Chain A
Amino acid sequence: MTTTPSSPRTAMFQRTSFTRRKEHAEFAAKMIFLLMTLLMVIPLVLIVGYLVVQAWPILSLDFLLEVPKRGMRAGGIWSPLLGTIYLVVLSLVIATPIGVLAAVFLNEYSRESWFTRVVNMAVVNLAGVPSIVHALFGLGAFVLFAHIGKSILAASLTLAIMTMPVIIASTKEALASVPMAFREACWNVGATRWQTVRHVVLPNSISGILTGVILQVSRAAGETAPIMFTGAVFFKAIEEGRIFAYGLFDQCMALSMHLFTISTQVPDVPHALPYGTAVVLLGTVLLVNSLAIILRIYLRSRKKW
């Protein structure tokens, strides 16, 4: 944290026109930058507020638990919501072990070398690949080449690869914050590298890893483009209230895709319906993110070293 000394304004100094001008300039600077910052904060509040107000009439538990009805012009969002949950959980199951172990490799098993630089660059790159290119990749590699076909599995694999950098980055950060002395102590009692990692390093960075996992969930839940061509469908009839309604090789509906279709393709949708869908999607993502933030703050306050 930076501590900048406040402007000299003790009684010893007389307020000349110069210092006054300086104070004015100081104040103006602060205000201008504050305004710039607020112009970013305000949209968030406005957007969430506006969407919630528009969606208010339709928001209820029934809205979540009913399947879309009458040509998706009525009913709720159970089928897309369930589809999103399937996609997120499956992509999580795929991305977490690989992501965590990749971070372990980068932080624990390799020295700073040209090779780790290349790996790090690849991670940065993977995070920067546009989502639509991930979609092309998913289509080319999983759907067509691996003959998985358009399915929840193909879409989840695509999402997993896309969101893996999030897990790698936060796990790496968490691992790096574990003091070297912990590892040395462990090595000194004769533990191997993996034993050290498993019994000392990972347990001590579990919260940081969880933060990454949570952020991955939020990212995966919100994405549309990567699943559009790999496994999300316009509509699929499922029974209301059924939890095990989709199989691994079925296609499914998804919340983000559903918002896109009902706001651009389906005629005569009641005004509140797309807003309701948007609020549920946005709400889920923001809630999950807040969870990550709370976890992080809690973690920081608890840190003993």
Chain B
Amino acid sequence: MQHRRRTEVITEVAIEWLIRLCGISAIVFVFGIFYFVFREGSSYFFHGFNIKEFLTSIEWFPSSESHVRYGALALIAGTASVTLLAMLIAVPFGIGAAIFISEFCNQKMKEFLKITIELLAAIPSVVWGFIGLTVMNPLIIKLTGAPIGLNVLNGGIILALMSVPIIVSIGEDALKAVPDSYREAGLALGVTRWQLIYRVLLPAAKNGLLAAVLLGVGRAVGETMAVLMATGHAVKIPTSALDSVRTLTATIAAELGEAPVNSEHYQVLFIIGILLFLLTMTVNLAADLIVRGIRSR
């Protein structure tokens, strides 16, 4: 083997290090996000922050002059209710669509539907919020007779449409991973397509579908602009789908701009950020582990 020139060797080593550096960048960023978000909220978190009040009180009075209270329960309930409704809509439809695409479609149709879903996923969240504000709001008032159309229902439908693409694409992957021999065995036994789906495919793909749902949940919990504009923004534990609520994400978006830097309120908003970070991290990692588990099988 011929000898390499010295500069070549140096370049090689330098580039290798650069690549390593970029390789670990994702880890650096994730820790960076945690560190910097927590850093902004930490001094209040360790001095004076009442975690029990934060998690159990519904009284969110960040700017009261007599008695400031940071009870985030209503905000947590807001996020939970909108996410729950979104999943009630998105999970059956998303999995139904995944089944249709993977089991009933010819190649052309499949391609077309996948592209459409990809485009659906690309719609920016502020456009969704705008639609919620201008289109869905009057529609919901007209159809349900609710006094106001900015509510859990509105946000839930929008979040459902936003998280359905991810459920479909991961769900379809999961169904695709079920070996064809399962299907052939079922059909040879003379079962109907219904039975095949219900008794064979869904149980076989259930982990993948669970991962799909989890990723959908992650998406819905973290969504900001759409829920800020469409859910009505009321601090309240909802008792029906027609109540207005406020989510954790929307609270940060609405209040951060006017909270003076390093004030208590500002720091509490960063603590909410950390809560969201941990929440979505748990959900996403769980989904990732499940998907990986399937692949390695």
Contact = CB atoms under 8 A, between A and B. Distances in A.
Direct A–B contact in the complex, CB atoms closer than 8 angstroms: yes
Interface of A: 1-5, 22, 25-26, 28-30, 32-34, 36-37, 39-41, 43-44, 47, 50-51, 97-99, 101-102, 104-106, 109-110, 118-119, 121-137, 139-141, 144-145, 161, 164-165, 168, 190, 192-195, 218-219, 221-225, 228-229, 256-257, 259-260, 263-264, 274-275, 278, 281-282, 285-286, 289-290, 293
Given A145-B36, A164-B26, A282-B124, A225 B270 contact: no
Given A37-B100, A109-B23, 18 more contacts: A2-B103, A25-B192, A25-B194, A26-B194, A29-B193, A36-B92, A37-B101, A119-B27, A122-B27, A124-B288, A130-B280, A132-B249, A136-B36, A136-B269, A164-B29, A256-B225, A259-B127, A281-B126
Contacts of A133: 33, 37, 222, 273, 276-277, 280
B222 A130 contact: yes
28 contacts: A4-B180, A4-B187, A22-B192, A25-B193, A30-B193, A37-B96, A37-B100, A40-B164, A44-B120, A50-B135, A51-B127, A101-B19, A105-B24, A128-B215, A129-B281, A130-B221, A130-B277, A130-B280, A133-B33, A144-B40, A145-B39, A190-B1, A192-B12, A193-B16, A218-B122, A224-B224, A260-B126, A282-B123
A36 B160 CA distance: 13
Contacts, number: 279
B118 to A, nearest CB: 7
Interface stretch (B52-60, B235-243, B251-259): B251-259
Interface stretch (B66-74, B80-88, B109-117, B140-148): B109-117
A300 to B, nearest CB: 10
Nearest to A294: B115
Nearest to B273: A136
A141 B104 CA distance: 49
A43 B23 contact: no
Looking at chain A's contact residues, is the secondary structure mostly helix, strand, loop, or mixed? helix
| Interface size grouping (class) on chain B | 35 or more
Interface in B86-100: 92-94, 96-97, 99-100
B36 A141 contact: yes
A282 B133 CA distance: 16
Contact of B130 (A118, A263, A285): A263
B294 interface: no
Given A41-B113, A132-B253, A109 B16 contact: yes
Contacts of B193: 25-26, 29-30
Given A128-B218, A130-B223, A289 B118 contact: yes
Interface of B is mostly: helix
Contact of A26 (B117, B192, B280): B192
Nearest to B164: A40
Contacts of A145: 36, 39
A34 B104 contact: yes
A101 B18 contact: yes
B99 A33 contact: yes
A285 B125 CA distance: 12
Given A4-B103, A282-B124, A106 B23 contact: yes
Interface string B170-194: 0000001000100110010000111
B150 to A, nearest CB: 12
A116 to B, nearest CB: 9
Closest 9 A/B residue pairs (Cβ): A130-B222, A222-B124, A105-B23, A36-B96, A101-B22, A128-B284, A33-B100, A140-B36, A122-B26
B263 interface: no
Contacts of B127: 51, 222, 259, 278, 281-282
A40 B27 contact: no
A5 B284 contact: no
Given A132-B249, A225-B224, A286 B93 contact: no
- Listed residue (A28, A228, A275) with the most chain B CB atoms within 10 angstroms of its CB: A228
B52 to A, nearest CB: 24
Contact of B176 (A2, A37, A40, A190): A2
